[in-house]
Amino acid sequence: MGWGFRRLVSSLVIVNKEISQTSGMLYPRESETREVRSLDGIWNFVKSDESNPTQGVREKWYKDDLGKVRDTIPMPVPASYNDITTEHAIRDHVGTVWYDRKFFVPRSWEKDQRVWLRFGSVHYEAFVWINGEMIIKHEMGHLPFEAEVTNALKYGEENRITVLCDNALIQTTVPQGKITEVAKDGGVAIVQTYSFDFFNYAGIHRSVHLYTTPKTFIEEVEVTTDLKANNNVGCIYYKAKTNGTTSNEATDEMYLNVVLRNRDGNIVAKDTTKSDLKGVIEISKVHPWWPYLMHPEPGYLYQLEIFLHTANNTLLDVYRLKVGVRTLSWNNTSFMINGRPVYFRGFGRHEDSDIRGKGLDYALLTRDFNLIKWIGANSYRTSHYPYSEESMQFADEHGIMIIDECPSVDTENYNQALLDKHKSAMEQLIHRDRNHPSVVMWSIANEPRTGQFHADSYFQFVANYTKSLDSTRPVTAAIAVPHTDDKAAKHLDIISFNRYNGWYSNAGKIDMITQRVIEEATAWNKKHNKPVIMSEYGADTVEGLHLLPSYVWSEDYQTELFSKHFKAFDILRKQSWFIGEFIWNFADFKTAQTVTRVGGNKKGVFTRSRQPKAAAHLVRKRYFALGREMDQCNFPEDLFTYITDASSPRSGKRDETDL
Ligand code: GCB
């Protein structure tokens, strides 16, 4: 705990070690047998002295109210703590901070059930106490963790929860960072540096829940799906794991009743298992899960209701899970969903907004999905870490395909401890997201330093481990090292590359983009004979800055730079192996303070407050045109601005010639 405790472990030999596996962690849902309570709200907050990050642990601050040892301030949960106050010292704090709050649990929860405490995510490392008793420790931001707290709670009385959160990033954390001591006026400052290009927001980022389960309960559910008979028949393969035994029933005698309901709530299939708790449901006239604009009814979800019974038919537990029925397949030249080739048109994104930082915010989430659909995108990459479970549920519902990325970014200085944690990040991510139909690919890293000597075996281990956990989805990584130096792409199924032609190279040279993009994509394909995606391209753009002829940082330049890329993509698309274009970035976002960033990274097509820049209208026309060309989608009524009746000769009719 604390940067003082996490030492750099460097070794010359990296080996493939066993990684501990996640268990449980179903998203908390109410049912006939389960209750859920939120602990979101205003907590008490205090930051440690940067030079003494473990003081609170040594002095056992968790044994009593934080307010008794320090002056606390109010802090919202979920939210990053950085931008809530007006103080540099909190925004730029390095090391540990403390949160606590009081809560009640009803007396009725005391009997015949278990109570669980679940965090959607705390960045980066968390230690949790209830009523002074240590409950759980978790390292790795952006991923959930939970613990049973049945015996730690006082029922019908007041309880206290205390959380220690440490944001320090070092060479063995995922992502990596460095901590140094630098002289400051009147002393020494602890300075956190990192090479990745987003602000290291920290705190209790997602919701905190208490939930109940019966003593014997459904601990895990895993589904995979298939389509047969020309996509007319669907199959859901499901299996469940239970935890606990009932006093009079042996675990192996329990069984499941499974009911499948369609979108309208009507039962379309039923199944009963044996004690192996697994089975397959067949759905005739199935509605497959289709991406947005690929089908008139995208994001179709069934509801799987799982009833756990004892052998003598006593109902023990009920859990409901949304399921999308779809297939994924890929080969050297294409990526297919339900047997149809997919061309990705989307964005790299960030979980980022004013004030709340990386904190979950339903208003923002809903606005973002409205914008994604407005602009006609069908996908995004969760650059550069797992996004909230709530956002994954949105993606399922709206038919937005997700390239699901783990928190490994700018990976370098490969070492054993890093590899173990990187694999654990993939394991936790896959465990969390494996049932989401929207997840169509795993991204094991962003811009790793894959020219380095150890990169070959390191990424072989990470990629093979990922494939061993889930063989139903392809594995990619967003690579920025030139194909001539890279040692990792050969271990991937699909190659993604990031490149900033016209920006980081040849800034302002609008005529040095198209050919370079074509050449680089072709070179990656030639070298590996695998599908290729351009996973990042873009230009920083100050909203409201217009310059003619176009000039770097202006809205005009972003628009022209995109257009030059579109031309390259259209030439590449004719080769079926080029399967997607992802703009960097969906919206402007905050970064560490540097002289190359004016209030953050401005490569958004939308501003940080989610309003369109000029290029958004161009992108919208292209993304819908691609949807029309490939999947015959309809154009929205307001896609075209009336200019003159000469530009729309067939009055009322809108087709691709209108573009
Ligand atoms: C990249 C990174 C991304 C940065 C982007 C930029 O290559 O993957 O995290 O934000 O470049 O704008 O510099």
Q: Enter the pTM of the model.
A: 0.96
Classify residue 476 as left (phi > 0), alpha (psi -120 to 50) or beta: beta
**pLDDT tens digits for 263-314?**
999 999 999 999 999 999 999 999 999 999 999 999 999 999 999 999 999 9
Distance CA 407, CA 409 (A): 6
Task: Reply yes or no on whether the pLDDT at 249 is more than 70.
Answer: no
Answer yes or no: is the C-beta of 496 below 6 A from any ligand 1 atom: no
Task: Reply yes or no on whether the pLDDT at 5 is more than 50.
Answer: no
pLDDT of residue 361: 98
Q: Could you give the angle at the alpha carbon of 297 between the alpha carbons of 368 and 332, nearest 5°? A: 80
- From atom 4 of ligand 1, which residue's Cα is the shortest distance away? 197
**pLDDT tens digits for 435-449?**
999 999 999 999 999
How far, in Å, from the CA of 446 to the mean position of ligand 1?
A: 9
pLDDT of residue 301: 98
Answer yes or no: is the C-beta of 353 below 6 A from any ligand 1 atom: no
How far, in Å, from the CA of 383 to the mean position of ligand 1?
A: 10
**pLDDT tens digits for 360-419?**
999 999 999 999 999 999 999 999 999 999 999 999 999 999 999 999 999 999 999 999
C-beta neighbour count of 594 within 10 angstroms: 8
Distance CA 487, CA 454 (A): 9
Answer yes or no: is the C-beta of 411 below 6 A from any ligand 1 atom: no
List CB contacts of 465: < 8 A, sequence separation 6 or more: 16, 19, 423, 426, 427
**Per-residue tokens: 154:** 């006082």
Answer yes or no: is the C-beta of 603 below 6 A from any ligand 1 atom: yes
pLDDT of residue 251: 52
C-beta neighbour count of 148 within 10 angstroms: 15
498 CA closest ligand 1 atom index:
7
Query: Mean pLDDT, to the nearest integer, of 548-553?
Result: 98
Active-site choice (50, 351, 447, 581): 447
Query: Mean pLDDT, to the nearest integer, of 438-465?
Result: 97
With the most atoms of ligand 1 within 8 angstroms of its CB, the residue from 194, 197, 447 to mutate is 197
CB 586 within 8 A of CB 348: yes
Answer yes or no: is the C-beta of 540 below 6 A from any ligand 1 atom: no
Query: Look-up: residue for tokens 């956990």?
Result: 469
DSSP-based three-state secondary structure for 164: strand
pLDDT of residue 10: 47
What percentage of residues in the chain have a pLDDT greater than 90? Answer: 94
pLDDT of residue 3: 47
How far, in Å, from the CA of 492 to the mean position of ligand 1?
A: 21
DSSP annotation string for 332-392: SS-EEETTEE--EEEEE----BTTTBT---HHHHHHHHHHHHHHT--EEE-TTS---HHHH
- From atom 2 of ligand 1, which residue's Cα is the shortest distance away? 197
Query: Mean pLDDT, to the nearest integer, of 96-113?
Result: 97
List CB contacts of 295: < 8 A, sequence separation 6 or more: 288, 399, 631
**pLDDT tens digits for 24-72?**
999 999 999 999 999 999 999 999 999 999 999 999 999 999 999 999 9
**pLDDT tens digits for 472-523?**
999 999 999 999 999 999 999 999 999 999 999 999 999 999 999 999 999 9
589 CA closest ligand 1 atom index:
10
pLDDT of residue 659: 52
Task: Reply yes or no on whether the pLDDT at 8 is more than 60.
Answer: no
DSSP-based three-state secondary structure for 491: helix
Answer yes or no: is the C-beta of 197 below 6 A from any ligand 1 atom: yes
How far, in Å, from the CA of 213 to the mean position of ligand 1?
A: 43
Give the closest residue to 586 by CA, choosing from 400, 399, 407: 400
Distance CA 122, CA 206 (A): 7
Q: What is the mean pLDDT of the chain?
A: 95
Q: How many CA atoms lie within 13 A of 127 on its CB side?
A: 17
**pLDDT tens digits for 213-246?**
999 999 999 999 999 999 999 999 999 999 986 5
List CB contacts of 621: < 8 A, sequence separation 6 or more: 639, 659
Answer yes or no: is the C-beta of 477 below 6 A from any ligand 1 atom: no
- From atom 5 of ligand 1, which residue's Cα is the shortest distance away? 197
Distance CA 260, CA 315 (A): 18
Distance CA 331, CA 529 (A): 10
Query: Hey, what amino acid is at 269?
Result: A
pLDDT of residue 253: 87
447 is catalytic: yes
DSSP-based three-state secondary structure for 41: strand
What b/e readout covers 368-385, taking b as 16+ CB neighbours within 10 angstroms? bbebbbbbbbbbbbbbbb
Answer yes or no: is the C-beta of 447 below 6 A from any ligand 1 atom: yes
How far, in Å, from the CA of 564 to the mean position of ligand 1?
A: 19
446 CA closest ligand 1 atom index:
8
Distance CA 318, CA 30 (A): 9
How far, in Å, from the CA of 546 to the mean position of ligand 1?
A: 23
The pairing of beta strand 532-536 with beta strand 495-498: parallel
504 CA closest ligand 1 atom index:
13
Answer yes or no: is the C-beta of 446 below 6 A from any ligand 1 atom: yes
pLDDT of residue 648: 53
DSSP annotation string for 539-550: --B-TT---SS-
CA dihedral 90, 92, 97, 103 (to 10 degrees): 50
- From atom 13 of ligand 1, which residue's Cα is the shortest distance away? 197
Distance CA 22, CA 293 (A): 35
Answer yes or no: is the C-beta of 584 below 6 A from any ligand 1 atom: yes
- From atom 3 of ligand 1, which residue's Cα is the shortest distance away? 197
589: which DSSP letter?
B
- From atom 6 of ligand 1, which residue's Cα is the shortest distance away? 197
**pLDDT tens digits for 319-341?**
999 999 999 999 999 999 999 99
How far, in Å, from the CA of 294 to the mean position of ligand 1?
A: 29
